[in-house]
Structure 1
Amino acid sequence: MIETADHDGIAVLTLNHGPVNALDLELLTAVPDTLAAVADARAVVLTGSGRSFSAGVDLKRIVDGGPPYVEKFLPALSLAMLGLFGHPKPVVAAVNGHALAGGCVLAAACDIRLMSHGTIGLAELAAGVPFPTVPLEIMRHAVGPVLDAMVLGAGRLSPHQAASIGLVHEIVEPDALFTAALRRADGLCAAPPDVYAFSKHQLHRPAREHIAAARPSEDPQVLELWSAGRTARILRDYLASLRGD
């Protein structure tokens, strides 16, 4: 589900979960567990197998599982994103293909994002579901004032468009992506680990404060909207449109 490899003390985590690395309960639960298992690594590189970094939430599982699944899924989504966002070591995303919706947030939770090809963006509103607090604040930290347009427009960006708004830090040819990500991760390790972790903590403080303030009131509404019968119907129609039915 998440393959791990060591490259000179840098932990390489590769999402290997179906053809597009869709985010479901099992994969999201594995994220914090895997990060804990590589806690001693100097840095982390996160990438995907196949043609996608991650195509986002497995919406079919949301529809099929209904409210009982959603009640487990949403907390797991937040915990996975927070675990990656708050990891004290350097974290580099090697975005090897499409990174959409939750996949985009997964990349945004990393300190540095390199991308080779595909599209990246937020499609939640197009699918008829709102943002939980944690993913929204991680995206706000990553892209700042352009977040409104990304969320409300629900569009896809090319690597060059993503780089122009700071969502992607470097565009790399596909065959050079892995090497470039390792080089970036190694470069971030030049700072003492405790200094890097504290600096990251300082930079993330506004996001963490917004999360702490908003979750008690917003996340119950998010759960209600994701669990609604209307949402299930919208998601079925959305999935049918993707299949061309």
Structure 2
Amino acid sequence: MLDLEQREGLAIVHMRRPGDNTLDEPMLRRLCAAFGFLDRAHPVVLTGYRATFAVDAPEQTEPGSLRALRAALLETMLTVAQHPRPVVAAINGDATGTGFALAAVADARLMSSGTVGRLRGTATNTATHDDVLRLVGRIGGGMAETILRTGQSFGADEAEQVGLVDRHTGTIGLLDEAIHRAHALSRTSAGPRAAPAVPR
């Protein structure tokens, strides 16, 4: 479900779940573990599979499953946010709900196609606990938090115009541009990123 690739002095994490690329609890746990294996001295590019970056799993109804999904989402977002070198989200398609929340905590977002935001009727309606939303607001920006709360969504052009992504780029060359951006951020950063605290 995850492929790790070393290229040009950084790591590329490919989220690959044939069919839908949903971010359910097992996928989130694997992603969190993958970041634990990465060389913390190098930047990371995070991308999806075919025409999907990452989207919500089906809506959770069982209290235990919902708690597990919330915990996994918060842990994964913190793990990405606390990686000491820059993380760039190469959004190759839809990034909705939990997928958008994950992209929002990256240092930069490049997008080739698809929709970003939150679609109503998905797991985010029940999975986005206040601590997750506050973390998105603190790291990914207040607009990202508002969009998750209200259910708005945007295409690639609109997402760039309102500042949800740094650049709308073509599908061909998306990874190359993301690699270039990650290295540029790494060169200009004064040192390791400050680790955010868990929102209270």
Would the TM-score normalized by the shorter structure come out above 0.5?
Answer: yes
Q: Answer with 77-86 or 37-46: which moved more.
A: 37-46
The structure whose Rg is larger is 1
Higher helix share: 1
Equivalent residue number for residue 88 of structure 1: 84
Asked whether the equivalents of residues 41 and 84 of structure 2 are also in contact (C-alpha less than 8 Å), the reply is no
| Alpha-carbon distance change, 179 to 17 in structure 1, aligned in 2, over 3 angstroms | same
Give the 4+ runs in structure 1 shifted more than 4 A.
Answer: 124-128
Asked if 1:170 is matched to 2:174, the reply is: no
Equivalent residue number for residue 6 of structure 1: 6
Structure 1: which 5+ residue stretches go unaligned? 214-245
Equivalent residue number for residue 141 of structure 2: 143
| Alpha-carbon distance change, 145 to 186 in structure 1, aligned in 2, over 3 angstroms | closer
Q: How does 1:22-171 map to 2 (within 5 A)?
A: 22-56=22-56, 58-59=57-58, 62-63=60-61, 66-123=62-119, 128-129=125-126, 131-141=128-138, 142-144=140-142, 147-148=145-146, 150-171=147-168
Q: How many residues align?
A: 198
| Alpha-carbon distance change, 134 to 180 in structure 1, aligned in 2, over 3 angstroms | farther
Asked whether the equivalents of residues 143 and 165 of structure 1 are also in contact (C-alpha less than 8 Å), the reply is no
The one-letter code of the counterpart of 1:136 is L
2: CA distance between counterparts of 1:146 and 1:109?
10
Identity of aligned residues (%): 27
Equivalent residue number for residue 217 of structure 1: none
| Alpha-carbon distance change, 126 to 69 in structure 1, aligned in 2, over 3 angstroms | closer
1:120-148 deviation digits (Å, cap 9, x = unpaired)? 00235776426213431233132325743
The one-letter code of the counterpart of 1:154 is G
Q: How does 1:199-238 map to 2 (within 5 A)?
A: 200-201=193-194, 208=197, 211=199, 213=200
TM-score (norm 1): 0.73
> Offset of 1:69 from its aligned partner?
2.1
Report the RMSD for the aligned CA atoms in angstroms: 2.2
TM-score (norm 2): 0.88
Asked whether the equivalents of residues 97 and 122 of structure 2 are also in contact (C-alpha less than 8 Å), the reply is no
2: CA distance between counterparts of 1:73 and 1:147?
18
Structure 2: which 5+ residue stretches go unaligned? none
Higher strand share: 2
